[in-house]
């Protein structure tokens, strides 16, 4: 009996030691005594600090323009502009997408294999506050279609400090699944958050809008906390998991489960049981269902699994985006030998604030980029011109490149993209690409099928770009010109005359286009394969335009004519009758289309989601 008690005591000590790493040993032992004696210590009286966001530091997308404040993420800083009112207000922060419509488009990218089921995030924003505090509550004021927030994180870095720490940590305060509120009305979202052992004045909100009926709008964020670290009244020892039995100070989780040591090579093979009888291919299939961190952990269990988990065939596709908070140069270095056959790589959101350096990324690309076909790098602020040069030199097979919201890349860096002649898909949303660079890209990349130039404010003359597209990229299937400033009717006419295979065209907020010139009617006659057309906020769209769409674009699925004053109910009814595949129709702020008529059309065409925004 005594050896058993000794063994249990050792087991308990190991678990206690692991748990005490978040605090001091004396705190852990003191808490243990409190648990054993059933005592509760009194919490010290502290003053709670309440503060609104001071500055939006980073975000992945927004509905608004780079040159104004309407519907931009910058509206989230400061006190509320709208709350407690509900509805569609320009003074709020709005992300670029909502619903599942974008996933159904031709230009959408297939989901990467091995993406953890728990990773739901589609967009994010980072918000700094004036004073670091130990958080006690986070409150988000949502004023329209709430429910998008799926994760709230806190950072150990003070963005206003002149001496940033060498190790930047992110801790999840709260996480949930995609959701939507029962009504689109305003609400104050304040989930229960966990306590952390560092003060923070930098929060990150991650959202998933796939279940929402319309754009979610955020008005302000409140961070509540105390200046001094709170002492827990009762130290609760969590349930012990088998993965907690490691007594090593170096844990796999410290590197996000991605620093894959090769310790399995030094162990004695004691036999693998029934696994020795299974075909190699079957074990490979079983292992292929593991997320990347689990794959790295399994590689350390025995020689057999080390061999399977290090097989380059397991790394044909690799999505590191879910592990953005923990990915480092060391992680890339450890993965390097396994990714020699890598074809699809997603590093979006990773490496910011020094976690990944340009040198570390370039080293990885030189070793693993030769077979790359798809490369996702949205919001990767570590990227430099040297990085794009290495991509151009080492990735001759590259067909898809996403640099969305890499807004810190200098304009000259984009010239290197022209050295990738096999490009089929290019996303440059919210970048500083200039006209000379995009013209060079179009000249040397004639196989482009999907191009996103949304919110590219450095392009001076979109007519010239449209002319080049018409001449060089006749296989183009989708084109996003969201908020392009100066596309004229002449440029649009050239574009649709040369790119007749277009299925998606986003001309939202292109205010220079005038329906009276006949440009939209010519568009409808020239693009019979059109499935998605956004003419958002073009007040000149009229009945004649819709009649041409009804007559020539029977495959139309998504149409946005928000804000037009010249469309009447009769032309809408005709369009719905002529386009049986229509799924989304946005008539918000169309002055001649009232809510009563929208309800009537929704009853007649139940398969069409007809949007009519409101302001309370």
Provide the pLDDT for residue 258. 61
Full-model pTM = 0.88
Q: Minimum mean pLDDT among 260-274, 380-394, 478-492: which range? A: 260-274
In 176-298, the DSSP E strands lie at: 187-189, 200-207, 217-226
Provide the pLDDT for residue 259. 55
Q: Which of 460, 461, 435, 438 is nearest to 451 (CA)?
A: 438
Provide the pLDDT for residue 616. 61
pLDDT band at 268 (very low <50, low <70, confident <90, very high): very low
What's the whole-number mean pLDDT along residues 514-529? 97
- 384-434 per-position pLDDT tens digit: 999 999 999 999 999 999 999 999 999 999 999 999 999 999 999 999 999
Q: Minimum mean pLDDT among 228-232, 421-425, 549-553, 559-563: which range? A: 228-232
Residue 216 Rama label (left phi>0; alpha psi -120 to 50; beta): beta
Provide the pLDDT for residue 440. 98
Q: Minimum mean pLDDT among 38-42, 111-115, 118-122, 596-600: which range? A: 38-42
pLDDT exceeds 90 at position 93: yes
pLDDT band at 232 (very low <50, low <70, confident <90, very high): low
pLDDT band at 476 (very low <50, low <70, confident <90, very high): very high
Distant-in-sequence, close-in-space partners of 36: CB < 8 Å, separation ≥ 6: none
Considering 36-40, 282-286, 339-343, the range whose residues carry the highest mean pLDDT is 339-343
Q: For residues 86 and 82, what is the distance between their CA atoms, to the nearest angstrom? A: 8
Provide the pLDDT for residue 260. 53
- 345-382 per-position pLDDT tens digit: 999 999 999 999 999 999 999 999 999 999 999 999 99
Q: For residues 475 and 23, what is the distance between their CA atoms, to the nearest angstrom? A: 60
What's the whole-number mean pLDDT along residues 256-280? 61
Residue 269 Rama label (left phi>0; alpha psi -120 to 50; beta): beta
pLDDT exceeds 50 at position 175: yes
- 497-517 per-position pLDDT tens digit: 999 999 999 999 999 999 999
pLDDT band at 614 (very low <50, low <70, confident <90, very high): confident
What's the whole-number mean pLDDT along residues 228-247? 48
pLDDT band at 236 (very low <50, low <70, confident <90, very high): very low
- 63-76 per-position pLDDT tens digit: 999 989 999 999 99
Provide the pLDDT for residue 23. 44
What's the whole-number mean pLDDT along residues 39-51? 67
Provide the pLDDT for residue 377. 98
436, containing H or E segment = helix 435-444
pLDDT exceeds 80 at position 237: no
pLDDT band at 273 (very low <50, low <70, confident <90, very high): confident
Provide the pLDDT for residue 21. 43
- 141-165 per-position pLDDT tens digit: 999 999 999 999 999 999 999 888 8
Considering 38-47, 243-252, 339-348, the range whose residues carry the highest mean pLDDT is 339-348
Q: Minimum mean pLDDT among 30-39, 40-49, 339-348, 463-472: which range? A: 30-39
pLDDT band at 102 (very low <50, low <70, confident <90, very high): confident
Percent of the chain clearing pLDDT 70 (strictly above)? 86
Q: How many CA atoms lie within 13 A of 259 on its CB side?
A: 12
Any bridge partners for residue 521, and if so which? none
| Long-range pairs of 241-246 with CB within 8 A, sequence gap ≥ 24 | 243/297, 244/15, 244/18, 245/14, 245/15, 246/18
Exposed/middle/buried for residue 43 (C-beta within 10 Å: 0-12, 13-18, 19+): exposed
Query: Would you say how long the chain is, in residues?
Result: 616
Provide the pLDDT for residue 33. 45
Mean pLDDT rounded to a whole number for the chain? 88
Q: Minimum mean pLDDT among 222-236, 575-589, 593-607: which range? A: 222-236
pLDDT exceeds 90 at position 276: no
Decide which of 206 and 296 is more confident. 206
Residue 245 Rama label (left phi>0; alpha psi -120 to 50; beta): alpha
């Amino acid at each position: 009996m005594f050896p058993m008690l000794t063994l249990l005591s050792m087991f308990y000590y190991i678990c206690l030691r692991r748990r005490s790493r978040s605090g001091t040993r004396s705190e852990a032992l003191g808490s243990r005594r409190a648990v054993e004696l059933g005592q509760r210590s009194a919490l010290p009286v502290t003053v709670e600090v309440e503060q609104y966001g001071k500055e939006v530091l980073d975000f992945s997308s927004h509905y608004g323009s780079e040159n104004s404040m309407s519907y931009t993420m910058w509206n989230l800083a400061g006190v509320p502009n709208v709350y407690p009112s509900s509805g569609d207000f320009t003074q709020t922060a709005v992300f670029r997408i909502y619903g599942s419509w974008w996933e159904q488009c031709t230009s959408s990218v297939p989901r990467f294999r091995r993406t953890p089921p728990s990773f739901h995030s589609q967009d994010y924003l980072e918000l700094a506050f004036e004073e670091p505090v130990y958080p006690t509550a986070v409150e988000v004021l949502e004023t329209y279609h709430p429910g998008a927030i799926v994760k709230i994180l806190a950072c150990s870095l003070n963005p206003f400090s002149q001496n940033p720490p060498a190790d930047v940590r992110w801790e999840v305060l709260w996480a949930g699944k995609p959701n939507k509120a029962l009504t689109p009305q305003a609400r104050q979202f304040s989930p229960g958050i966990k306590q952390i052992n560092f003060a923070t004045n930098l929060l990150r909100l991650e959202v998933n809008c796939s279940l929402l009926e319309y754009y979610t709008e955020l008005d302000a964020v409140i961070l509540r906390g105390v200046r001094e670290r709170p002492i827990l009244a009762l130290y609760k020892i969590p349930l012990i998991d088998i993965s907690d039995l490691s007594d090593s100070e170096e844990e796999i989780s410290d590197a996000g489960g991605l620093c894959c040591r090769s310790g399995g090579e030094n162990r004695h093979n004691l036999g693998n049981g029934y696994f020795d009888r299974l075909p190699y291919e079957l074990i490979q299939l079983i292992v292929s269902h593991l997320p990347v961190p689990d794959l790295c952990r399994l590689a350390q269990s025995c020689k057999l699994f080390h061999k399977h988990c290090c097989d380059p065939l397991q790394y044909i596709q690799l999505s590191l985006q879910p592990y953005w908070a923990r990915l480092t140069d060391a992680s890339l270095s450890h993965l390097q030998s396994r990714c020699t056959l890598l074809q699809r790589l997603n590093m979006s959101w990773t490496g910011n604030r020094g976690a990944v350096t340009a040198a570390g990324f370039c080293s990885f690309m030189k070793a693993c980029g030769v077979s790359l076909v798809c490369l996702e790098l949205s919001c990767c602020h570590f990227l430099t011109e040297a990085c794009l040069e290495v991509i151009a030199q080492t990735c001759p097979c590259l067909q898809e490149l996403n640099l969305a919201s890499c807004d810190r890349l200098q304009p000259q860096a984009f010239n290197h993209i022209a050295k990738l002649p096999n490009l089929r898909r290019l996303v440059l949303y919210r970048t500083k690409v200039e006209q000379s660079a995009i013209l060079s890209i179009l000249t040397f990349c004639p196989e482009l099928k999907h191009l996103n130039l949304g919110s590219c404010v450095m392009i001076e003359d979109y007519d010239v770009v449209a002319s080049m597209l018409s001449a060089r990229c006749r296989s183009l299937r989708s084109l996003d010109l969201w908020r392009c400033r100066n596309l004229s009717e002449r440029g649009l006419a050239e574009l649709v005359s040369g790119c007749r295979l277009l299925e998606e065209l986003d001309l939202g907020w292109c205010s220079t286009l005038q329906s009276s010139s006949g440009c939209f009617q010519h568009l409808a006659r020239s693009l019979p394969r059109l499935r998605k057309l956004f003419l958002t906020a073009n007040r000149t769209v009229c009945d004649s335009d819709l009649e041409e769409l009804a007559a020539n674009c029977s495959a139309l699925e998504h149409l946005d004519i928000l804000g037009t004053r010249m469309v009447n109910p009769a032309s809408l009814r005709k369009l719905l009758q002529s386009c049986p595949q229509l799924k989304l129709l946005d008539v918000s702020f169309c002055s001649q289309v009232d809510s009563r008529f929208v309800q009537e059309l929704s009853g007649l065409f139940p398969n069409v989601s007809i949007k009519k925004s409101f302001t309370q």
